Amino acid sequence: MDATRTAVRRARIAVCLLFLSFGMIIGTWTARLPAVKRGLDLSDGQLSVALLGFAAGAITGMLVIGRLVDRHGGATMIVCAAVGDAMLLVAPAYANGLVTLTVSLLLFGTVHGTLNIAMNAAAVEVERAWGRPIMSSFHAVYSIGGLLGAAAGGLFAYADLSVAATFAAVAALVICLALWARRRLPAFDGQSSAEGPQRMDARLPGVTFLGVLAFCCLVGEGAAADWSSVYLRDTLDSSSGFAAAAYAAFAAMMTAGRLVGDRLAARLGPVRLVRVCGALAAVGLGVALLIGHPIAGVVGFGCLGAGLSCIAPLVFSAAGNRNPGRAGAAIARVASLGYVGFLTGPIIIGIAAQSAGLGWALFIPAILALFVAVTAQALRQPGHEPSPLRA
How far is Cα 3 from Cα 300, in angstroms, rounded to an integer? 46
- For the chain, the domains span 2-193, 207-379
pLDDT at position 96: 93
Q: Look up the pTM and report it.
A: 0.82
How far is Cα 281 from Cα 299, in angstroms, rounded to an integer? 11
Q: What is the mean pLDDT of residues 285-305?
A: 95
Residue type, 83: V
The CATH number of 2-193 is 1.20.1250.20
Residues of the chain above pLDDT 70, percent? 90
pLDDT at 15 over 70: yes
Confidence of residue 384 (pLDDT cuts 50, 70, 90): very low
pLDDT at 197 over 50: no
- The per-residue pLDDT of the chain, averaged, comes to 86
pLDDT at 22 over 90: yes
237-272 pLDDT, tens digit each: 988 778 878 888 898 999 999 999 999 999 999 999
Cα angle 75, 196, 391; round to 5: 30
Residue of 49, 27, 87, 106 whose CA lies nearest to 40: 49
Angle, in degrees to the nearest 10, between helices 2-40 and 75-90: 20
How far is Cα 59 from Cα 326, in angstroms, rounded to an integer? 18
How far is Cα 212 from Cα 84, in angstroms, rounded to an integer? 30
Residues of the chain above pLDDT 90, percent? 45
Confidence of residue 321 (pLDDT cuts 50, 70, 90): confident
pLDDT at 134 over 80: yes
User: For the domain with range 207-379, which CATH number is right: 1.20.1250.20, 3.50.4.10, 3.40.640.10, 1.10.1750.10?
Assistant: 1.20.1250.20
Lowest-pLDDT range, 63-77, 104-118, 264-278, 339-353?
Answer: 63-77
